[in-house]
Amino acid sequence: MPLKLQPFVQVDDTPFSVSPEDILRTHGKPWRSGRNGVGLHEMDYGHVVYRFQDCGRLEEVTLQAQVVAIGNVAVPFDALAGFIRGQDPRAFERAGFLVSPGFGMAFDPREPFWVTALARHCLGEWEAL
């Protein structure tokens, strides 16, 4: 199944308005949880990682996606970098990741099939890297 992305709004069935408590109620206890190297609280379920600010605001959702569906367009991971570069003039690279402000995502084209959906408010952090 493709990853369904509504940029800055929702990742599959998870809205960016979700709280850590909502994730716990829905998914149960993560197999790993704690603060990561950039100061975000991670809830790692193996197939999906949720990253929250200390205040509980969702920053990022990382999951595997062989295909990313954005609206009516489905893009295979292997074609995602070319699609982003062709469709998002604001796209940039940071720390090996291709970041798309227009589509609200970041990914390392060399690391299939992990894609990180971004909250709009965290784009500045990516730009500052």
- Convert the pLDDT of each residue in 6-54 to its tens digit: 999 999 999 999 999 999 999 999 999 999 988 999 999 999 999 999 9
pLDDT band at 129 (very low <50, low <70, confident <90, very high): confident
pTM for the predicted model, two decimal places: 0.94
- Closest to 116 (Cα-Cα) out of 52, 71, 50, 42: 50
**For the chain, counts of helices (H) and of strands (E):** 3, 13
φ and ψ at residue 15, rounded to 5 degrees: -80, 155
φ and ψ at residue 122, rounded to 5 degrees: -100, 0
